[in-house]
């Protein structure tokens, strides 16, 4: 395993290190805004036949840029296909999602306690040169925000696998949220301060959270002051040519390698690559040890009171 973003990649921890030390190191590295890279995926991959099915058999049936399973709702999106094709895709992604969750909860039990499952997705298309709107493009550097309804500061953890057998997947990054927000906050017009929802938002959010226990997809309707500020910064990054043209660092992920990162805290774009598995989770803000590094604390202006109103 290698770790790094904005720093020299470092080697794995010595074998003599205890399991608890290793677990703390993984979570701590994520919280510090590092990308954790595994030269070979630390979990079993789908079978060779299933991989080939994802890479070749889905192409005629694509209805969206991603084929995504929402495990909590058992809902598959992105395909207009015969039932047997949808069912096989659903089965492959469900099995992969379960293996990723098992790895994460075993490797970082304290950090992942109570985390929510977002999606398990297959990205079938070449990222380079796609004709997408700026806000939908993966080629433009951004931090993740707003795709799963209101997070209220919970962290967006993503686990990736390059499923292409012969080509690297290439990212670029311009640094961490803390670094970029400090430099560009005024240009982006993002205010800092109280992140408590107003009374109407609290009522709506409570109702949606209750209803989402039976209908998980309802979560995407929720919002919060934190999530709106994050989305505004996300959009500013993608909409600002001078920002996109500023220096960046490239990172190549070789075939069948894996990596994980808190994508709300690390800027990123995928500029080249085809065929990847991406699993998304929401980690409770309360699980973070390095609170000062969280986007919530940064947007709240380091105010303890606002954070305590949100943590749950």
Please name the residue ranges forming H helices in the chain.
Answer: 19-31, 48-52, 83-107, 109-112, 177-188, 199-212, 225-239, 241-244, 295-299, 304-310
pLDDT in tens, 123-137: 999 999 987 888 889
Whether residue 303 is predicted with pLDDT greater than 70 in this model: the reply is no
Give the pLDDT mean for 80-109: 98
Terminal CA-CA length for the chain? 33
Band of pLDDT at residue 196, cut at 50, 70 and 90: confident
Domain containing residue 239: 2-310
Q: Between the ranges 17-21, 71-75, 157-161, 288-292, where is the mean pLDDT highest? A: 157-161
Higher pLDDT, 185 or 203: 185
pLDDT in tens, 253-286: 999 999 999 999 999 999 999 999 999 999 999 9
Distance CA 59, CA 55 (A): 8
Average pLDDT, the chain: 86
**The two structure tokens encoding residue 262:** 């808190």
**Number of domains, the chain:** 1
Question: pTM of the prediction?
Answer: 0.86
- 204 three-class SS: helix
| DSSP bridge pairs for 261 | 158
Q: Is 197:300 a contact under the CB 8 Å cutoff? A: no
Whether residue 16 is predicted with pLDDT greater than 70 in this model: the reply is no
């Amino acid at each position: 395993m290698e770790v790094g973003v904005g720093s020299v990649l470092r080697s794995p921890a010595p074998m003599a290190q205890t399991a608890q030390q290793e677990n703390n190191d993984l979570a701590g590295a994520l919280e510090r805004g590092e990308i954790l890279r595994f030269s070979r995926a630390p979990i079993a991959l789908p079978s060779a036949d299933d991989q080939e099915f994802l890479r070749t058999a889905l192409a005629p049936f694509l209805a969206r840029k991603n084929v995504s399973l929402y495990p909590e709702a058992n809902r598959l999106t992105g395909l207009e296909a015969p039932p047997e094709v949808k069912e096989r895709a659903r089965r492959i992604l469900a099995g992969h999602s379960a293996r990723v969750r098992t790895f994460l909860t075993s490797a970082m039990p304290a950090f992942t306690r109570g985390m929510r499952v977002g999606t398990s997705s297959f990205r079938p298309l070449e990222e380079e040169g796609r004709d997408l709107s700026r806000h939908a493009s993966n080629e433009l550097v951004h931090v993740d925000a707003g795709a799963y309804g209101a997070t209220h500061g919970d962290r967006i953890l993503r686990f990736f696998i390059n499923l292409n057998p012969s080509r690297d997947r290439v990212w670029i990054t311009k640094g961490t949220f803390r670094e970029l927000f400090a430099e560009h906050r005024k240009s982006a017009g993002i205010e800092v301060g109280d992140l408590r929802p107003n009374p109407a938002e609290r009522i709506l959010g409570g109702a949606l959270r209750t209803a989402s226990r039976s209908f998980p997809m309802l979560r995407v309707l929720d919002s919060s002051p934190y999530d709106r500020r994050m989305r505004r910064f996300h959009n500013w990054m993608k909409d600002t040519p001078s920002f996109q043209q500023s220096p960046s660092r490239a990172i190549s992920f070789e075939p069948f390698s894996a990596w994980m990162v808190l994508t709300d805290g690390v800027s990123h774009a995928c500029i080249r690559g085809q065929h990847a598995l991406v699993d998304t989770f929401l980690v409770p803000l309360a699980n973070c040890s390095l609170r000062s590094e969280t986007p919530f604390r940064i947007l709240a202006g380091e105010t303890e009171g606002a954070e305590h109103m949100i943590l749950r």
